[in-house]
């Protein structure tokens, strides 16, 4: 396995379109942030002093009947592996379905990206995806979405206004953009706010890949506000829980480590490697190091290509039997140069052994995993 680490004010229904992050999303210069970081640090300190020691909203007197789940920037209906659709999409879909399986209804609010989308779509029994109009349907980068959080929050409040008080028992937001909408919704509804970061600006900025743009100070401030406002923070690992405490002064008592699971009905050996290779048209005797994911500097697929080039320099006899699948589409800063990885393969002299494939559904992805000699992360 080849591995590289990349790395309170009361609100009311009269929503004011002056979000604290609006218009403040241009990334700062990577090498000139000293004064900016000092100001952010001062703000974080003030926020920490104002934060309540505990929140009464988390004291649920019964099991939740209905959860409002928020995913502003990416829809659970999108194909993972390209653009902004990735592991978080899969996480939300699987979590929602598992909650529905134990009779907890889930409504997922996400931004509409085309006029053709219906207002609501049933993803699975007990799971409803609500499309919220917030900004242009197309051509809006994730970095521009903070300016649309007011519109998105308005859409969420409109959906809620048709229901009785207490309709949603809990708000579960994903990623920092959704956290700001969840902050308002939870306060307005008197419901607990459970938030999952998925990624954190301070952690990403500490280990930027070449070609990646630093996350802006506005995101750091936004994440700090969400940490202070949340009743429970979900971390995937103990390390992530430590990062929340260390970088964002999260109250350890509010952080819960919940390890992501694996759908073993889908991701299992099944009929084995040989059958999977036959279905995918891969040689039975090939050495297959597989990269599957969004193509962006942070995930560093270039490390695999450079490693393969080095391997073939050392072991040229392997060229006839090595196949290097790269399954996924460009994402993040990788969208600026979608052909960059192909050009790198050509420069390294390994274009003949690298196979670029578009994102695939989970059934076929499971076959790629079965077929691989090694999965490269």
Confidence of residue 333 (pLDDT cuts 50, 70, 90): low
d(CA 170, CA 309): 51
H-type alpha helices, 13-58: 34-50
Q: Are residues 220 and 361 in the same domain?
A: no
pLDDT at 20: 37
pLDDT at 34: 55
Q: Are 373 and 287 in contact (CB under 8 A)?
A: yes
Q: Are residues 337 and 238 in the same domain?
A: no
Q: Which of 234, 231, 117, 137 is nearest to 185 (CA)?
A: 231
Which CATH number characterizes residue 311's domain?
A: 3.40.50.2000
Q: Please report whether residue 289 resides in a domain.
A: yes
| Strand 255-257, strand 289-292: pairing | unpaired
Mean pLDDT of 175-201: 96
Q: Are 170 and 150 in contact (CB under 8 A)?
A: no
pLDDT digits (tens, 9 = 90+) for 272-281: 999 999 999 9
Confidence of residue 307 (pLDDT cuts 50, 70, 90): very high
For residue 275, what are its two tokens? 């059958």
Q: Are residues 312 and 189 in the same domain?
A: no
Confidence of residue 121 (pLDDT cuts 50, 70, 90): very high
Q: Are residues 297 and 370 in the same domain?
A: yes
- Strand, helix or coil for residue 255: strand
pLDDT digits (tens, 9 = 90+) for 82-108: 666 678 888 999 999 999 999 999 999
pLDDT at 75: 86
Burial tier of 1 (Cβ tally within 10 Å: 0-12, 13-18, 19+) = exposed
Confidence of residue 210 (pLDDT cuts 50, 70, 90): confident
Neighbours of 316 (CB within 10 A): 9
d(CA 118, CA 130): 8
Q: Are residues 298 and 225 in the same domain?
A: no
The C-alpha angle 56, 180, 149, rounded to 5 degrees, equals 145
Kindly give, in sequence order, each residue whose CB lies less than 8 Å from that of residue 349, ignoring residues fewer than 6 positions away: 309, 312
Mean pLDDT of 355-366: 92
Q: Are residues 239 and 330 in the same domain?
A: no
Confidence of residue 1 (pLDDT cuts 50, 70, 90): very low
In terms of residue numbers, what domain contains 312? 272-375
Q: Are residues 250 and 144 in the same domain?
A: yes
> Which of 215, 232, 257 marks a domain boundary?
257
d(CA 360, CA 255): 34
Q: Residue 70: enclosing H or E segment and its boundaries?
A: strand 66-71
pLDDT at 295: 86
**Taking the alpha carbons of 170, 80, 223, 155 in that order, is the dihedral positive or negative?**
negative
- Structure-token match 């700062």, residue found: 28
Q: What is the DSSP string of 295-350?
A: BSGGG-HHHHHHHHHHHHHH-GGGGGTB-EEEE--B-GGGGGSTTHHHHHHHHTT-
pLDDT digits (tens, 9 = 90+) for 16-66: 343 434 434 444 444 445 555 565 555 555 554 444 444 555 556 678 999
Q: Is the pLDDT of residue 15 over 90?
A: no
Q: Please report whether residue 92 resides in a domain.
A: yes
d(CA 134, CA 34): 34
Q: Are residues 356 and 324 in the same domain?
A: yes
d(CA 63, CA 103): 10
Q: Please report whether residue 77 resides in a domain.
A: yes
d(CA 166, CA 155): 18
**Taking the alpha carbons of 121, 159, 96, 244 in that order, is the dihedral positive or negative?**
positive
Q: Which of 309, 354, 351, 363 is nearest to 327 (CA)?
A: 354
d(CA 6, CA 205): 9
- Among the listed ranges 11-20, 93-102, 153-162, 310-319, which one has the minimum average pLDDT value? 11-20
- Structure-token match 């009779």, residue found: 103
Q: Are residues 252 and 292 in the same domain?
A: no
Q: Is the pLDDT of residue 337 over 90?
A: no
63: alpha, beta or left? (left if phi > 0; alpha if psi -120 to 50): beta
pLDDT digits (tens, 9 = 90+) for 234-261: 999 999 999 999 999 999 999 999 999 8
Total domains in the chain come to: 2
- Among the listed ranges 164-168, 207-211, 222-226, 290-294, which one has the minimum average pLDDT value? 207-211
% of the chain with per-residue pLDDT over 70: 80
d(CA 247, CA 57): 25
pTM for the full predicted model = 0.77
């Amino acid at each position: 396995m080849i591995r590289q680490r990349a790395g309170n004010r009361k609100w009311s229904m009269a929503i004011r379109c002056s979000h604290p992050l609006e218009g403040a999303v241009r990334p700062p210069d990577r090498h000139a942030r000293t004064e900016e970081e000092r100001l952010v640090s001062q703000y974080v300190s003030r926020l920490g002093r104002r934060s309540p020691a505990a929140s009464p909203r988390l004291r649920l007197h019964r099991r939740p009947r209905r959860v409002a789940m928020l995913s502003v920037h990416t829809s659970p209906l999108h194909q993972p592996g390209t653009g902004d659709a990735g592991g978080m999409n899969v996480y939300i879909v699987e979590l929602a379905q598992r909650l529905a399986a134990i009779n907890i209804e889930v409504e997922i609010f996400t931004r509409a990206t085309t006029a053709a989308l219906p207002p609501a779509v049933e993803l699975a029994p007990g799971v409803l995806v609500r499309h919220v109009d917030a900004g242009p349907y197309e051509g809006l980068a994730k970095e521009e979405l903070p300016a649309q959080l007011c519109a998105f929050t308005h859409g969420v409040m409109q959906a809620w206004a048709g229901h009785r008080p207490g309709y949603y028992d809990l708000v579960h937001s994903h990623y920092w953009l959704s956290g700001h909408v969840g902050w308002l919704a939870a306060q307005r509804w008197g419901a607990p706010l459970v938030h999952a970061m998925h990624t954190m600006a301070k952690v990403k900025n500490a280990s930027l890949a070449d070609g990646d743009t630093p996350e802006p100070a506005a995101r750091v401030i936004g994440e700090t506000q969400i940490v202070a406002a949340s009743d429970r923070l979900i971390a995937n690992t103990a390390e992530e829980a430590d990062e929340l405490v260390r970088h964002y002064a999260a109250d350890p008592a509010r952080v819960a480590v919940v390890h992501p699971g694996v759908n073993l009905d889908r991701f299992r050996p099944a009929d084995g490697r040989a059958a999977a290779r036959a279905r995918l048209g891969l040689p039975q005797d090939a050495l297959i190091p597989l990269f599957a994911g969004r193509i962006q500097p942070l995930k560093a697929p270039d490390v695999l290509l450079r490693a393969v080039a080095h391997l073939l320099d050392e072991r040229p006899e392997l060229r006839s039997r090595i196949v290097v699948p790269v399954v996924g589409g460009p994402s993040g800063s990788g969208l600026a140069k979608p052909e960059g990885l192909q050009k790198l393969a050509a420069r390294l002299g390994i274009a003949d052994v690298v196979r670029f494939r578009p994102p695939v559904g989970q059934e076929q992805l499971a076959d790629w995993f079965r077929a691989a000699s090694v999965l490269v992360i």
